[in-house]
Structure formats: C-alpha cells, structure tokens
Amino acid sequence: MTQNAAFGLDPEIEAFIEKTGRHYPENAATLDAAGQRRVYDQMCAAFDLPVPDGLAIHDELIHAGAGRPAIPIRVYVPDQARANTLILYMHGGGFVVGGLESHHGVCGELSAAAGCALVSVDYRLAPEHSHPAQIEDCLTIFRHFCSTYDRIIVAGDSAGANLAAALCVATLDKPRKPDGAVLIYPALGGDQLDLPSYSAMADAPMLTTEDVHLYHRLWHGGSEVLGDALSAPLLATDLTGHPPTAIFSAAVDPLCDDGAAYAERLGQAGTMARCHTEAGLVHGYLRARRTSRKAEASFERICGAVRGLTTSVTLPS
C-alpha cells in the first residue's frame, strides 16, 4: 500500500490510508497466511463500528456434505424484517484473509438499511483451500437458503464481489438463481483482459496490481489460472439470464475497470446493470464510511441499491 499525492486524494481519504498503514504494513501481502490474517484482523478492528440497534444476530454452522467442513455463517435479522427476502454477503480479503468479524459492522448496517435478513458466509480461505473451494461454499449456502427465502440478493466486496458474481454465473442455467447482485470494488478478471486500470493504477494505495497477482496465485494453488469464468466472471462466454446488478468501483484502484466492463457485458446480455465509478475513493473504502464524506455517500448508494433489489427490480440512478 503506497501513499502517492499524484492520485489527488482528499485529506479524509489520505487519513484513512495513513490509519490503515499503521495497522497493515506494506509487506503484508508477502507474509504467510497466518500472518496476513493476523494483521488484517487487527486492521479491521481499528475501524470497528457498533452495529445498529434492533438486530438479532447469531452464528450457525451449515453442513456442507461428506468430506467437507461445516461452513460458519452469521445471521442478522432486523426487528420487523421483511419476510421471504435475504441478502447473502461474501466478505473481501483476497480469498486469503477476512471472515465474520472483519465485515461484522458492514453486514449489520446493510441488513438494517435493507430491512431484511442478511447471512454472512465464512467460506474457506486460500492457500489452504484453493479455488473452487470458495465458490463451492457460497453455492452451498445459497442452496441451503433457497427453500426458506423467495428472494435472495447476493452481495460482496472485492474477493467477495467476485464470489457474488461467480455465484450468478454458476447458476445461469439453474432453475433457482439470485434475484439481484451488488458488487463493491469487484475483482472480476480484468487483469486477464489487460484493462487499462491495471496499468494506470498499478501502484495505487491500498491495493496494487502486484498484490492482485499475488493473491491470484495464492488462491489458485501457486499459479495464475487463466480463462476460468468461475474465478474471472468477465471471461464468461454468455451472461444471458444474469440477475440485475449494481456495481460500485473505486476510481483509484487497479480493479476499477472491471466494474464498468462487467456492466457493459451484462447490458449486452440483456441484463439491467449499472456501474458507479466512485471518484477519489480507494480499494477498501467501506471501512472509511464514517470518516470520509465520499465513502459515506458511496455507502449510502450501496445501501440504496441493496434496498432497491430486495424490494423490486430497481437500480439506483
């Protein structure tokens, strides 16, 4: 993570980057998995916010089938939650770090804002578990709740946004698929298409292009696997039937162009999709949602997108 005045970031985002750096050293991506998780959890704890009042919260273990460990989930249910509607949230962290605690505040706020239940998925992490373990776990949880909820919206940030999109791709030809998707600074495989942001934002603060490749190798057992639509949804040959999708990309992020490219592909396939490229924001800005006015405004748009998709097939303008 490199702070660079050339990116023209405002003082609030500069302060967010500086605080992150105090808890997340520049060489964090080169630590072993245990070391990365330790510093990531410490960093997320430094930005902890209490969840809104009026939420019932409990943890569960969901059976995943023979030979696979049970999948931990955390369930958030607001008072007077709208019946039959669920948000399925996949956390970010490069498929290597993160879990139920790192995104606890975000999930609580999204559940309260949408007025419906939310399930956070603690999917298996790399490098101990390579792709496709992560999407397998998310699909298991999705199928588990299909008989309980009539409407399921999938959402996630960064690696979690990848998994939300991959879940949509994996169910394109299935009778039951998500009813909408909200993707926050998603990693969708644009590096394999040489999208310009991977060069223009190669040394962006919070996430570099080198970091993206490193996490990709960790996720795929030490190599960079190319051409797999379940790890790079932008490479799917046909996205017909994909649910309506709201995408929020950070402008100062090597992943920036993935969002717009995916929205364009979805539009070509006849899907309602919209990408918001958030000017002056960096990867991971959800943690700055109460200290940066720009991040707060984007989070309000994200909440609006979730509300719109949980109540009808609408996207924010």
Residue 2's pLDDT is what? 42
Digit-coded pLDDT (tens) for 68-83 = 999 999 999 999 998 8
Whether residue 278 is contained in a domain is answered as yes
- Of all residues in the chain, the percent with pLDDT exceeding 70 is 97
Beta carbons within 10 angstroms of residue 227's beta carbon: 9
**283 a catalytic residue:** yes
- The residue from 102, 111, 120, 158 that is catalytic is 158
Mean pLDDT of 188-204: 97
Specify whether 158 is catalytic. yes
Amino acid 227: pLDDT: 86
Q: 258 with 195: CB under 8 angstroms?
A: yes
Over its C-alpha atoms, the chain yields an Rg (Å, rounded) of 18
Q: Which of 137, 157, 179, 253 is catalytic?
A: 253
C-beta of residue 233 within 8 angstroms of C-beta of residue 165: yes
Mean pLDDT of 29-46: 87
Q: How far is CA 106 from CA 3, 119, 156, 257, 285, in A?
A: 25, 12, 10, 24, 11
| Residue 290 covered by a domain | yes
Quickly state the pLDDT bin for 196 (edges 50, 70, 90).
Answer: very high
- Report the mean per-residue pLDDT for the chain: 94
Helix pair angle (104-114, 293-311), 10° resolution? 50
With bands split at pLDDT 50, 70 and 90, how would you rate the model's confidence at 213? very high
Q: Among 102, 120, 283, 298, which one carries the catalytic annotation?
A: 283
- For 121-162, what is each residue's pLDDT tens digit? 999 999 999 999 999 999 999 999 999 999 999 999 999 999
What's the pLDDT score for residue 312? Answer: 77
Residues spanned by the domain of 250:
5-311
- The stretch 180-206 carries a mean pLDDT of 97
Peptide bond into 127 cis (omega under 30): yes
pLDDT number for residue 316: 65
Q: What pLDDT score does 3 carry?
A: 46
For residue 316, tell me if it sits in a domain: no
Can you count the helices (H) and strands (E) in the chain?
Answer: 9, 8
pLDDT band at 299 (very low <50, low <70, confident <90, very high): very high
Distance CA 29, CA 35 (A): 9
pLDDT at residue number 314: 66
94 neighbors 28 (Cβ within 8 angstroms): no
Q: What is the tally of structural domains in the chain?
A: 1
Confidence at 5, pLDDT banded by 50, 70, 90:
low
**Does 110 score more than 80 pLDDT?**
yes
In a domain, 133, yes or no: yes
Which is it for strands 117-121 and 151-157: parallel, antiparallel or unpaired? unpaired
Query: Is 298 a catalytic site residue?
Result: no
Let me know: does 12 contact 294? Beta carbons within 8 Å.
Answer: yes
In a domain, 44, yes or no: yes
The pLDDT of residue 32 is 84
Task: Specify the CATH number for the domain of residue 176.
Answer: 3.40.50.1820
Question: What is the average pLDDT across 5-23?
Answer: 91
User: Quick check: is 119 in a domain?
Assistant: yes
**Is 317 inside any structural domain?**
no
